[in-house]
Structure 1
Amino acid sequence: MTAVELGMPLQRKPIYTQPRERFVFLYPTTACSLRCKTCYVGNTRLNAANTMSVERAVEIMDYFKVTGGHDKLYLLGGEPTMHPELAQIVREARDRGYKVTISSNGDFEESIFDGIGPDMLDSFNFSLESADPTIHRKIRGNPKNFEQVTNNIRRARELGYQVRVMCTVSQTNAPGALDLIPFLADLGAHTLSYHNLGKTGNGGRFLQPLNPQEWMDFCAAIEAHPPEPRLAVYYPPTFVTADTQEQWADRGYPGCPARTLDRPHIYPDGTVYACPVFMDDDRHYARFEDGRLVLNPSPNNELNAYMTADPVCTGCPNTGTCGGGCPAYSQIPAYGDEGWYTCDRQITPLCILWTVSAWGARPADSLHTLR
């Protein structure tokens, strides 16, 4: 008989005993050909167009391999394909045992595939905002990008890459966002990941996110969509009711990965962030200098935010499965002070970046371990 049948309480595993996923998010350049309204990096960094050398990238990869056991590398920007030596960075990462993903806006010439073949990458990640070209162009502000990114998705699939697509959901594209499921399945993509727009960078200036109830309704709509066997679909729960927290813990929710410093984001200027949610206002927790991390002495650095418990959490019976939620909602004025969202112990915030598989768990393979 099970514990439930015997009338015994279930022994829940606290979230911070979940397996940790150690990613390095490396920004080899902040140069970019676009100025998307969803961009959490923000136009100030994009306009600076800073670029790191291959030697610097290797030094960073070696450091986190040794000190944190990191084994997955995301190459972002800006637009990483604009880095003149991106192929060499990929080779150096593979030589060091990293699984490598390039995350791109798709705004590149097909010759990029010649220098970085599918044997060098674990996945090629593209961003696409809608199956409707008009909506995509409204967010991207570029009349040609929809055709270019969809053509590159199709070509990458033909060449044998693992093709992943990300869509950042806001009030602008939410009504037709699920149309991407059949569209990308027909295009040949392997995975689609929906993400909730954060109030960071351009996203905090130009677009409006879904509020907590709207986001929960959107996630429910994904689950209610007929499963598409050709496409793995992921989404971040982000906001959940207190009575469902245990189900997310059972599905692997690890708590806030910034609090365990599992996912560093490193820019060409050496600034290191634990999470992109705090990337505005120079709140980095450290700077990478001379082969080591030098902590930011400012009391306003993001690490102090992660190490501060929201007062509403004190004495809350749900912290074992919620882990104190996402610190951003009590530490960033754009969330709490504007009245957009504060935890009331009924609807609680999970990590805005942690995703789960729609329509039930999928087999554990590289498509999903690299999410």
Structure 2
Amino acid sequence: MSELLTIGGSRPEGSRDRTRVHYRRFHNIYLYITERCQLRCGHCYMGDRLERGLSLSYDKAVRIMNQCRTLGGEYITFLGGEPTLHPDLPRMVDHAREVGYRQVMINSNGLLERTIDKIAPEKLHYISFSLDGASAEVHDAVRGEGMFDKTVPCIRSTVEAGYPVRLICTISQINIADAPNILALADEIGVQMVNFHVFSEEGRGIANAETWSLSPYEWISFYEHLESIKDEYRTSIWYPPTYANRERLERYVDEGYRGCVGCSLDRLSIFPDGRSYVCSVLFDEPMHFAVMTDQGLRLNRQQNEFELFTQATFQAGDEPWLSGCPAEAVLARNGKPTTPPDLVSLCRLWKSQA
């Protein structure tokens, strides 16, 4: 374990280490407590894991939470699959609070099992619901017939019950025209924030890549549109830029962007089989960071994703924001699109507020 904690070493005295000012090691923990889900959404990055359907036992989840807290974890998000399908979710939330996680979050598909009723609103920093359209026609095209009419009442009742609520919307060719209308619905319901993400060719998205994918220019046009309408709504708007022209990059640097988040080990995503990733872009790849065992993190000594991040950041020198997305090298080998030469790629884990 001591070897893990010293990865990356230290810089000579007096050198500039801008990354460490903004990112902290193992600060954010993403715990996938189950791979089970009621839905089979066309963009879901979980892919075949949904069919595998593994879940963490309560005891194992507790060990992981304790280990990650020791490593420096302060924020923890429970995900799936659908985390509310796990009967021990309320106990897991309680334990996370007991061992000192500052913020506890849940990501849900909006078909809440009533396990959520056993979690007091004040124990959660927020619950995040997936909503991919402002109408049944659009949302159901992504998530299945009848889902909009189940999800929106669930979001509304959760807000009314006093829970802090946010929305996640994944933008593809299916919903790009309708998605901005979600902001009016969000205002009306009273959610805190909408996070817009760009469709990625991962998991179940691979099969839909030809018809669902956006070009980098289409995604930039979309988030620039969000910037132009943000003052019309009370709800906060966030998005990962992913791509930018060089002029806009300066703005993101001013906001705190310092290149690849993975190079600082700021976050760790842990699946029920113990496989642990720093970068969610690589969830389909064998080059994970480590495996979580009962004894702690066991480093992957074969193809480790961390080598990608450190090499790219080292090459960028004192301008780490120019390191681009190191994971693109892996995506390119698999025939997935990469950044056009007239644009700059940004870490896909970093978000900006519109």
Could you tell me the TM-score, scaled by structure 1's length? 0.84
Alpha-carbon deviation of 1:204?
A: 2.5
Match of 1:347 in 2: 343
CA offsets 1:257-297 (integer angstroms, 9 cap, x no match): 21111110001111001111001133222101122111223
Match of 1:362 in 2: none
CA offsets 1:210-237 (integer angstroms, 9 cap, x no match): 2111111111100111514421111111
- Does the aligned pair in 2 maintain the 1:24–1:263 contact within 8 Å? yes
Name the amino acid aligned to 1:65: R
The CA distance in 2 between the partners of 1:50 and 1:144, in whole Å, is 27
Q: 1:34 aligned to 2:17?
A: no
Match of 1:188 in 2: 190
Match of 1:203 in 2: 205
Q: Which of 260, 282, 286 is the aligned partner of 1:256?
A: 260
Counterparts in 2 of 1:213 and 1:14: CA distance versus 1, 3 Å: farther
Q: Secondary structure at the match of 1:89?
A: helix
Match of 1:324 in 2: 323
The CA distance in 2 between the partners of 1:80 and 1:54, in whole Å, is 13
Segment of structure 1 superposing worse, 265-274 or 202-211: 202-211
Matched positions, count: 334
Q: Secondary structure at the match of 2:259?
A: coil
The CA distance in 1 between the partners of 2:288 and 2:234, in whole Å, is 40
Counterparts in 2 of 1:205 and 1:334: CA distance versus 1, 3 Å: farther
CA offsets 1:121-162 (integer angstroms, 9 cap, x no match): 11011000010211111111x222211211111011101111
- Does the aligned pair in 2 maintain the 1:29–1:51 contact within 8 Å? yes
Q: Which of 112, 115, 133 is the aligned partner of 1:112?
A: 115
Alpha-carbon deviation of 1:120?
A: 1.8
- Does the aligned pair in 2 maintain the 1:249–1:321 contact within 8 Å? no
- Does the aligned pair in 1 maintain the 2:332–2:338 contact within 8 Å? no
Match of 1:85 in 2: 88
Alpha-carbon deviation of 1:14?
A: 6.8
Q: Which of 272, 275, 291 is the aligned partner of 2:276?
A: 272
Alpha-carbon deviation of 1:182?
A: 0.6
- Does the aligned pair in 1 maintain the 2:245–2:343 contact within 8 Å? yes
Name the amino acid aligned to 2:323: G
Match of 2:105 in 1: 101
Name the amino acid aligned to 1:86: L
The CA distance in 2 between the partners of 1:51 and 1:62, in whole Å, is 18
Shift >4 Å, 4+ stretches: none
- The unaligned stretches of length 5 or more in structure 2 are 1-15
- Does the aligned pair in 1 maintain the 2:197–2:240 contact within 8 Å? yes
Q: Secondary structure at the match of 2:319?
A: helix
Match of 1:361 in 2: none
Q: What's the RMSD between the two structures over aligned residues?
A: 2.1
Alpha-carbon deviation of 1:343?
A: 5.4
The CA distance in 2 between the partners of 1:20 and 1:309, in whole Å, is 17
Q: Secondary structure at the match of 1:161?
A: coil
Match of 2:291 in 1: 287
- Does the aligned pair in 2 maintain the 1:195–1:236 contact within 8 Å? yes
The CA distance in 2 between the partners of 1:173 and 1:55, in whole Å, is 40
The CA distance in 2 between the partners of 1:89 and 1:120, in whole Å, is 11
- Does the aligned pair in 1 maintain the 2:263–2:309 contact within 8 Å? yes
The CA distance in 1 between the partners of 2:333 and 2:151, in whole Å, is 32
- Does the aligned pair in 2 maintain the 1:137–1:145 contact within 8 Å? yes
Alpha-carbon deviation of 1:17?
A: 4.3
The CA distance in 2 between the partners of 1:177 and 1:18, in whole Å, is 34
Name the amino acid aligned to 1:329: E
Could you tell me the TM-score, scaled by structure 2's length? 0.88
Q: Secondary structure at the match of 1:269?
A: coil
Q: Secondary structure at the match of 1:253?
A: coil
Q: Which of 20, 24, 32 is the aligned partner of 2:29?
A: 24
Name the amino acid aligned to 1:84: P
Match of 2:235 in 1: 231
The CA distance in 1 between the partners of 2:286 and 2:250, in whole Å, is 35
CA offsets 1:289-314 (integer angstroms, 9 cap, x no match): 12211122323x3223323439xx95
- Does the aligned pair in 1 maintain the 2:308–2:326 contact within 8 Å? yes
